[in-house]
Amino acid sequence: MENQSIEQLPTEKEVLSEVKEHLPAQERKSKRQPFWPWLKHQLTPDFSGGAIVSNLLTIIVTALVVLPVFILLHRVTPIWGWPYNLDRFLLFVILFLFFFFLLKKIRKFVWILLGVIFTSLLISSLTGHYSFENIFWDYRGLVSNLANDSKSLHDIGSEAVFPRRQTIVNAIEFTAPEIMDFSHEAVKKNFQKYQEGKEKQYVQCIAVWKAINDEWIYIKDPTDREYIAKATVSLKRLSGDCDDYSILMAACLKSIGASVRLVRTANHIYPELGFESKADLDNVIYLIRNKLFKKDAKNKTIHYHTDSNGKLWLNMDYTAPYPGGKFLDENTTAVLEL
């Protein structure tokens, strides 16, 4: 029998591809899936087990990303004045959908990244370093301070000679027993509930601030004379002018290991509490507004300085019934870091 060659038939895929190539451009364009059916397909829930978990995690991650972005845009974009804040609602919905679909597109990369972050945090937490609780505190502080004003000023005159420097330094008797006793009692008396975690020492400093400010009475110096009282003297009186207050506050804060400095303006002097990181300051500002001084500081602007080295200094003056009150004078003339 003679061999007969059988011509191989094209596959279905090849046929469809050839037909598509011969279609007019306009007709090819019309074959594309319209946007709204595509969007409906994307939003239609998939109730399979793996899909539910995946979509739920995507929603959670989207919410965590969108919230600070929304707050930031809310603060910088014009308010259109729509009823019931519908313009802000629309902004949030647009942001949420954008990030949701973006994260779905790069879902594999996101899960790998989350896995790496989770593993790193687990190791860090088990070794006593940065933990999941720290993540919560830092995120909460970030969101809170994006939603509310905090005002930072850069140092001016930080290199200038501080007037009566040595006299003031000698007056800050932070190792005196009565100063240490007062500070320890203040720490035991105020805000013990919030003295935990990496913000523990800062809350203790605020406890000392409260103990002094609850009792302090402003009294001027004798006419035409600048009298500087030692910290132990001001502790007995719990009264005096701004330099007496600043010296006492600095001594008490230093007695419990805080980083402190004094700031001089044309007609005033006041103390500040040092922070090593913005995250720590954000967390403390959150506590000031929402826990420690909720009645007085809720939604209020918190004032602090940023020095030339990037270190942050919270205003500890008596200008407000909470730490971080308004600067009496924003123009500093000299700084004394203790």
pLDDT at residue 326 greater than cutoff 50: yes
- Whole-angstrom distance, CA of residue 208 vs CA of residue 205: 5
Q: What is the pTM of this model?
A: 0.65
pLDDT at 35 over 60: no
105-164 pLDDT per residue, tens: 887 787 787 777 778 777 877 777 666 666 666 666 666 665 555 566 666 656 678 889
Q: Report the phi/psi class of residue 54: left, alpha or beta, with left for phi > 0 and alpha for psi in -120 to 50.
A: alpha
Contact (CB, 8 A) for 92 and 70: yes
Distance in angstroms (rounded) separating the CA atoms of residues 323 and 228: 24
Which comes out higher in pLDDT, residue 316 or 43? 316
Domains of the chain, first to last: 30-130 (no CATH), 153-337 (3.10.620)
User: Which residues are registered as beta bridge partners of 334?
Assistant: 264
What DSSP line would sit under 115-158, residue for residue?
A: HHHHHHHHHHHHTTSS-HHHHHHHHHHHHHHHHS-EEEEE-SST
Please state the φ and ψ torsions of residue 155, each to the nearest 5 degrees.
-60, 140
DSSP letter for 334, please. E
pLDDT of the residue at 125:
72
Q: What pLDDT, on a 0 to 100 scale, did the predictor assign at position 135?
A: 66
248 pairs with which residues across the strands?
none
Q: 305, exposed or middle or buried, with CB in 10 Å at 0-12, 13-18, 19+?
A: buried
Per-residue pLDDT band at 29 (split at 50, 70, 90): very low
pLDDT digits (tens, 9 = 90+) for 269-316: 999 999 988 888 988 998 999 899 999 998 888 999 988 888 999 999
